[in-house]
Amino acid sequence: MNLYSKLIFPRLMDITMSGESMSAHRRSLLADVSGDILEIGFGTGLNLPHYPDSVKHLTTVDINPGMSQIAAKRAAQSGRRITQHVLSGEQLPMPNQSFDCVVSTWTLCSIPDVEQAIREVHRVLKPQGKFFLIEHGLSDQPKVQTWQARINPMQKVFGDGCHLDRDMQQLVSQVFPAVELEQFPEPSLPQFIGYFYKGIATKAA
């Protein structure tokens, strides 16, 4: 992992992803999570203030040690029991059917083998477990899609592997039988990076 990915990018993300519009999405997405929870792509821990008070223990994974160092400070101040793992979401060490909920916020865009990561999420969820996610991805506007394709090569470099044009609805629906995702442009962001997919996918009983 290079210096940019480990030291600079985590701090840039901590600043750019901590605005009020992002926080509002985090609050609404996480309001109903409960039970044993896994968060993939924990990042710098910006979701922590938005989990319900009932959530006492959280298991997290993130492949970037620079992100995890920042998150560890927030975890220590949160008053929650948090077990952090520095590893990829593509190969989770947790047993089958371990969690009631899995959370992903702006993470699936940057995982190289995103299909495998979603299969892993499905595997570690208990029957009827829920996958709570908000992601950015492929716009529903052809002109914006064209710009997403043009900018994508640069975005993958400066965004540390981030893809602008993944169809999150399609990717999640390939694995989960029940997917309810709201799709919308986020007004506070440029259209090429601000088309959001937000909602819940549910594992079969």
For each of the domains in the chain, give its residue range(s) and CATH number, in order of start: 3-202 (3.40.50.150)
Residue 189: strand, helix, or coil = coil
Nearest to 173 by CA among 149, 197, 142: 197
Residue 103 has pLDDT above 80, yes or no: yes
- pLDDT (mean) for 117-143: 98
The region, left, alpha or beta by phi > 0 then psi within -120 to 50, assigned to residue 127 is beta
Residue 1 has pLDDT above 80, yes or no: no
Nearest to 132 by CA among 164, 100, 160: 100
For residue range 5-33, what is the model confidence (pLDDT) as tens digits? 999 999 999 999 999 999 999 999 999 99
Determine the Cα–Cα distance for residues 64 and 2; give it in Å rounded to an integer: 11
Question: What is the overall mean pLDDT for the chain?
Answer: 96
Asked whether 30 and 51 are in contact (CB, 8 A), the reply is yes
Cα 15 off chain centre by: 17
**Amino acid letter for position 11:** R
The CA-atom distances, in angstroms, between 147 and each of 36, 110, 151, 192 are 40, 18, 6, 7
- pTM score, whole prediction: 0.96
Q: Which residues contact 12 (CB under 8 A, 6 or more apart)?
A: none
Report residue 180's pLDDT band, with 50, 70 and 90 as the boundaries.
very high
| Percent of the chain topping pLDDT 90 | 95
Determine the Cα–Cα distance for residues 90 and 63; give it in Å rounded to an integer: 10
Residue 2 has pLDDT above 90, yes or no: no
What pLDDT, on the 0 to 100 scale, is given for residue 79?
86
Separation of first and last alpha carbons in the chain: 40
Report residue 99's pLDDT band, with 50, 70 and 90 as the boundaries.
very high
What pLDDT, on the 0 to 100 scale, is given for residue 163?
98
Which residue bears the tokens 């008053």? 79
